[in-house]
Amino acid sequence: MGRIWLLTGPPGVGKSTVVSRVVLRLKGSGTIVGGCATSEKKSGGTRVGFEMVNLTDGTRGELASATRSLGPRVGRYRVNLADIANIGAAGLSKAAEVSELIVIDEVGPMELVSPEFRRAIRVCIDSGKPILAVAHERLDDDLLNELRDKAEKTLAVTVENRDDVVEELAADLLGAVGGPKTS
């Protein structure tokens, strides 16, 4: 059975930054990393939405936007279900097939409105491969609770520890995938 490492913490503390730094280190060691990641979209210093990237092939799309008129509402944003399915869920499903490490950034209320994304998380869990996931801190959801229950390690990211968390996670995950690859 694969192992799961979860990152939690309040919004804006740097969870996604930790994930991107860990991914860079593992890719630099020759590890095949796939899955999906999210980032904020800002305009004039104000957050206007979120972007999603498929880490397996680099495709990008919109996770949610404050200016969308269609899609389920989560807070002040409307979720782009088509992009979650075609980029996020597709990236997770492909990662379960071809990657050594699966990244899921984030498992939160926007992503979980998508049935395809939920199914893709299940495929990842069932793959038995190591997973690095960002878990919404307070959301109560059966699938998210299962990830929490199966987590080998849960790390609460803070401003004070985020640099140390990168080192710890990179070492743990490099060990989980069998160490650096030599050419």
99 domain residue, yes or no = yes
pLDDT band at 1 (very low <50, low <70, confident <90, very high): very low
- Judged against a pLDDT cut of 90, whether residue 74 lies above it is answered with yes
| Domain containing residue 161 | 4-39+51-56+82-176
69 domain residue, yes or no = no
- Judged against a pLDDT cut of 70, whether residue 143 lies above it is answered with yes
Give the CATH number, domain containing residue 133: 3.40.50.300
pLDDT for the residue numbered 51: 96
16 domain residue, yes or no = yes
Domain count, the chain: 1
Q: What is the 3-state secondary structure (H, E, C) of the chain?
A: CCCEEEEECCCCCCHHHHHHHHHHHHHHCCCCEEEEEEEEEEECCEEEEEEEEECCCCCEEEEEECCCCCCCEECCEEECHHHHHHHHHHHHHHHHHHCCEEEEEEECCCHHHCHHHHHHHHHHHHHCCCEEEEECCCCCCHHHHHHHHHEEEEEECCCCCHHHHHHHHHHHHHHHCCCCCCC
Q: What percent of the chain has pLDDT over 90?
A: 90
